Amino acid sequence: MRRLLLILMTVLVLFAAVSILRQSVSAPQPRTQLELKQVDLTLQVLALRSDPDYRFAVESLGADELVGDATELYREVSPEDPLVLIKLGLLDAAGGKPQVAMRSWAKVAPGAALYPTAQVLGGLWRSPPRLLPEAETTLNRSLTGWYRTQALGRLYELEQRTDQRRRLEVDSREQALQVLGGLIWLGAVPLAGSLTGVVILVGWLIWQRKQSPPNWQVPWSGETLWAVVVIWFAAFLVSGTTLAPVLSSLGIETASLGATAQSLVILGTYALGAGTGLLALWWLVWRPYSGHGQFRYNLVPGWWKWGLGGYFVATPLVLLASLLSQQLWTEGGGGNPLLEIISGSDAPVARLVLLGTVSVVAPFFEETLFRGLVFPTLASRWNVPLAIIGSALLFALAHLNASDLLPLSVLGMVLATLYHYTRTLAPCILLHALWNGASFVSLLVLGG
């Protein structure tokens, strides 16, 4: 009866997982939105273009083609979005195409929140110009970054307000310096990490040839692994699809919640799935096999060096896998919905909750399951390379995004290799936490 129930659960979980993966194949990747955020940030650096001290850095970002590239990128996204139309118009105006810009602004519907902004911009770039009342207030309220600078610069020029225009240029330069520092960090840190990782990888390949870690042996059966994994998948699928309807039945719409409340819902959803998985792990593995010394979290000598070194080694490998994945999934492929939420969060408490979710809760649970349970179980039945690949593939599939399969598989292989040689989950959790934490910080930088 137990096996029949397990088979039934497996069929249902596989059906749901395959359906989600199939949907992700055609789903747009959040990378496009992140690219837009990066383009918006990079546009601000143009304020330093005339400064000889920063000319080289600005030109290295492709300043000559930046406005044109940004215009093409915005033409590829939703043309009905009022904010896209506003930005696209300002890009066309900066490119010397005021008539094209005014056609974009004219498409903003009268009932839209940005309709007054579109009217103000249309008046500024029409011939002859028409200055509407409260124009400055409207632009300050609705625009940010380079787009705000362009619009206010045009307004002050027409109104011949030299002092305000000069102050605007000073403010733009200060913002540009901050943005330039962030963009340099985004580019330099992965590059430095990749170079360091290559050196460490070469050294490790030489070192590991002289090592012979003991074979893996686990007291539980393959059916136990099967049961825990299926229960875990089912728990996450159920928690991810039922929490929002339950809250809705209580009169709480998650889409209308603030950033902090949404981050708590995300944490609650993950904790519900992870808690159910840990309960299944305790009942089926930890309770009956508590004396067998499995699932070690020991802080062995040099554990943090293994974790940090593994992070550096993973950096070039995962980056290469990500580039290949982008070539394979040029249109769809889906993506982690947390990317948009993190990059768009501005509440400190929300950021702290999200950081705790991705850098503490997720690394502990996922390493416990995939490296602590899945990898040694497979390694005790297969050879180690196959176990590394098998556990990494399951780790990647668990994220249910087609575009993440390749890079997460590579990351999973690094994590499994790390566990195989250290026999403790501590460096794996550290590597995972560093990886998610660095990604989190990068998304915050892109979010401005």
**CA-based angle 190:192:196, to the nearest 5?**
110
Hunting for tokens 């960090």 — which residue is that?
185
Do 217 and 161 fall into the same domain?
no
Q: CB atoms < 10 A from the CB of 417, how many? A: 22
Q: Is residue 112 part of a domain?
A: yes
What is the tally of helices (H) and strands (E) in the chain? Answer: 20, 0
Take residue 2 and report the two structure tokens written for it. Answer: 């137990």
Query: How many structural domains does the chain have?
Result: 2
Q: Is residue 7 part of a domain?
A: no
CA dihedral (249, 241, 274, 257) in degrees, to 10, reads -50
Confidence (pLDDT) at 333: 47
Structural domain including 293 reads 212-446
Confidence (pLDDT) at 200: 94
Confidence (pLDDT) at 396: 93
Do 107 and 235 fall into the same domain?
no
Do 165 and 221 fall into the same domain?
no
Do 240 and 370 fall into the same domain?
yes
CA distances from 380 to 236, 290, 299 (A): 27, 18, 24
- The helix/strand/coil state of 3 is helix
CA distances from 5 to 12, 234, 373 (A): 11, 13, 22
Do 316 and 271 fall into the same domain?
yes
Q: Is residue 188 part of a domain?
A: no
Do 274 and 330 fall into the same domain?
yes
The Cα–Cα gap between 317 and 393 comes to 16
DSSP code per residue over 115-144: HHHHHHHHHHHSSS--PPTTHHHHHHHH--
The Cα–Cα gap between 323 and 327 comes to 6
pLDDT in tens, 17-31: 888 778 766 665 554
Hunting for tokens 């930005």 — which residue is that?
87
Q: Is residue 189 part of a domain?
A: no
pLDDT in tens, 132-142: 888 889 999 98
Q: Is residue 187 part of a domain?
A: no
Show Cβ contacts of residue 251 under 8 Å, excluding neighbours closer than 6 positions: none
Take residue 361 and report the two structure tokens written for it. Answer: 């809760």
Q: Is residue 358 part of a domain?
A: yes
Of 181, 198, 233, the residue at which a domain comes to its end is 181
Confidence (pLDDT) at 335: 54
**What letter represents residue 402's amino acid?**
A
Radius of gyration from C-alpha coordinates of the chain: 26
Do 121 and 246 fall into the same domain?
no
Do 345 and 391 fall into the same domain?
yes
Confidence (pLDDT) at 436: 92
Do 222 and 137 fall into the same domain?
no
Q: Is residue 204 part of a domain?
A: no
The Cα–Cα gap between 25 and 329 comes to 8
Residues in the chain, pLDDT under 50: 31, 333-334
Confidence (pLDDT) at 306: 95
Confidence (pLDDT) at 308: 95
| DSSP tag of 76 | T
**CA-based angle 228:229:230, to the nearest 5?**
95
Q: Are 381 and 352 in contact (CB under 8 A)?
A: no
Do 175 and 237 fall into the same domain?
no
Confidence (pLDDT) at 428: 97
Confidence (pLDDT) at 42: 81
Confidence (pLDDT) at 264: 84
The Cα–Cα gap between 175 and 47 comes to 9
Do 120 and 219 fall into the same domain?
no
Do 230 and 368 fall into the same domain?
yes
- The helix/strand/coil state of 309 is helix
pTM of the predicted structure, to 2 decimals: 0.81
Confidence (pLDDT) at 179: 78
Take residue 321 and report the two structure tokens written for it. Answer: 């896998």
Q: Is residue 4 part of a domain?
A: no
Confidence (pLDDT) at 196: 94
Q: Are 373 and 382 in contact (CB under 8 A)?
A: no
